[in-house]
Chains A and B, each alone.
Chain A
Amino acid sequence: MTMLPEPSAIKLGLVIDLDICVGCQACVVNCKEWNTSGYGAPLADSDAYGESPTGAWLNRVHAYEAGDGANSRTVHFPKSCLHCEEAPCVTVCPTGASFKRAEDGIVLVNEDWCIGCGLCAWSCPYGARELDPAEGVMKKCTLCVDRIYNDNLPQEDQVPACVRTCPTNARHFGDLGDPNSEVSQMVAARSGMDLMPEQGTKPVNKYLPPRPRRAADEAPVSLVAMAEADTPTGFWKWVDSALDRLG
């Protein structure tokens, strides 16, 4: 039944740090790789070597410019399914293929039931779903459900592929239902936010906003000054004083 379950105590999700993401697209590629070779139908491309290649992706990284003048900055913006508490993609689904797990809140698609009507993609405000061009079924981020509970993998790999691969640690995975979890504490410390709260979807995934800039009137850092030690020590102290004595 595509009624939403009672809110679960465990809410597995991601916390994405917009201050840290450098837009390297590593999470995008690893997500594609993992979901092409693992669970369910492969994540297909169409016209991969042709004129206009397209394909299904479960995770994308946008780049935005925010603010003006000296305060403007580039923000890299990763976006995958937010595993919403009030997921509209689940309730619109006519077949029951889309569902939210009662035990941990992960939103999934049963690919054997999906008719590919696309209605769930229309109902998601975040663009987190795509119709697989080859299989005709709906695809979405599974929160790597086939990794996080997989005891055949080493402990350190039992996290989503995108989290595991991120070279800057901008993506974090954990239980956002537990206020003491590492992710919840990050959200509390950095004022983690919801995307498009006005849509009423109550996303589980949270975004950490870019940290405030250094005050504008602070003196700019001089790289030359940083390279010169104020008072030399050891050998260089001896060289310094010896040369001083010479001249």
Chain B
Amino acid sequence: MRPAWSIIFFTTMSGLGLGLAGWIILGLLPLMTPASVMGVGIATLTLIGAGLISSTFHLGHPERAWRALSQWRSSWLSREGVLAVIVMVGLAAWFLAAYGGLRVPFWANLVLLVLLYVTVYATSMIYASLKTVARWHHPLTPVCYLMFAAAGGLLATLALLAILRLPITAALAQAAIVLMLSAWGVKLAWWRLAGMAQHAGSIESATGLGQLGAVRPLMPPHTEENYLQHEMGFVVARKHADKLRMIALALGGGLPVLVLLLAPASAGALAVAVLAHVAGMFVERWLFFAEAKHVVTLYYGEAA
């Protein structure tokens, strides 16, 4: 599938922002000065919002994007949009309450936390629900998205704590290491399992001509590449997939873990770790799209 930068940016940034918000709600950011609460709130909402706005850049008609909120009963894309709006409003209210020194009741925190992760889940289900892309249509796909939101979010939280000169306990740094390693562990498993997933069909079943014997494409329907080949038949990444996976793993997981081990309290080092993680996640998401094969490519002679 052709990777669109706007979607890569959207899933990465929204995931990170939502993960960060989740840890803040869990109370990991002792809210000291009203100014820092405001700063953190604005940073979090900007991450999520920037992701959402960027997702409209690949639309043919962004001015109609509001219509996408209407079909939540059947469409995961619609559900994601509705949930994101609710969560943004909820978070804005939460930060305002914190800024005003109000104590947010436990149940409200819990509801917001659940909604955050359901939003990440909805994003992942836009892809995981597509039967036409075997590699995405796998139970581990949502797990990857959720784990990365949690791990990236905790890393960003620690960076914020350090920047605000708040104490970071050893347990917290260790939790971040464990979470980051588990997230990449799940991703490795996904590469191994979902990455091997094949479509049930073949060129023979797709054309229904298998009864005649093996089927070979003789002539494409066009002399030039068409929309389908351009959109669903993207092949650039597969050649470098192994190298790109190593880069994603090193930047997105290796470097952050190293920083958490060696300098868990250094604001500068943690900021670099967050940047590296984001860069690694960009590569990971790019591969997520670029490596995926759509079943329609069978008609164009691709092997399943």
Residues of A contacting B68 in the complex (Cβ-Cβ under 8 angstroms):
94-95, 115, 117
- B263 CB–A CB distance under 8 Å: no
Is the Cβ of A94 less than 8 Å from the Cβ of B70? Answer: yes
Is the Cβ of B65 less than 8 Å from the Cβ of A57? Answer: no
* B window 194-227: CB within 8 A of A: 200-201, 203, 205-209, 211-222, 224-227
The answer, among A96, A117, A136, A209, for a CB contact under 8 Å with B209, is A209
Is the Cβ of A68 less than 8 Å from the Cβ of B221? Answer: no
The answer, among A2, A62, A91, A126, for a CB contact under 8 Å with B220, is A62
Is the Cβ of B60 less than 8 Å from the Cβ of A3? Answer: no
Tier of interface size on chain A: 35 or more
Residues of B contacting A125 in the complex (Cβ-Cβ under 8 angstroms):
131-132, 295-296
CA distance A209 to B133 in the complex (A): 27
CA distance A130 to B230 in the complex (A): 11
- A237 CB–B CB distance under 8 Å: no
Residues of B contacting A156 in the complex (Cβ-Cβ under 8 angstroms):
none
Residues of B contacting A118 in the complex (Cβ-Cβ under 8 angstroms):
58, 231
Residues of A contacting B206 in the complex (Cβ-Cβ under 8 angstroms):
195-196
CB distance from A81 to the nearest CB of B (A): 13
Is the Cβ of A74 less than 8 Å from the Cβ of B218? Answer: yes
Could you count the A-B residue pairs with CB atoms below 8 Å apart for me: how many are there? 193
CA distance A125 to B130 in the complex (A): 10
Residues of A contacting B131 in the complex (Cβ-Cβ under 8 angstroms):
88, 123, 125, 199-200
- A26 CB–B CB distance under 8 Å: no
Is the Cβ of A66 less than 8 Å from the Cβ of B209? Answer: yes
- A163 CB–B CB distance under 8 Å: no
Interface membership of chain A positions 205-219, coded 1 if the CB is closer than 8 angstroms to chain B and 0 otherwise: 001011000000000
18 sample A-B contacts, Cβ–Cβ < 8 Å, listed by A number: A3-B74, A18-B209, A57-B222, A63-B218, A72-B213, A94-B78, A95-B67, A97-B67, A117-B77, A119-B77, A122-B1, A122-B132, A123-B132, A127-B228, A127-B232, A135-B60, A136-B59, A200-B131
Residue positions of A touching B, CB distance < 8 A: 1-3, 18, 23, 28, 52-54, 56-57, 60-68, 71-75, 77, 79, 88, 90-97, 113-119, 121-127, 130-133, 135-138, 193-200, 207, 209-210
Closest A-B pairs by Cβ, 9 of them? A116-B60, A136-B60, A67-B213, A60-B221, A94-B78, A94-B68, A127-B296, A66-B212, A63-B219
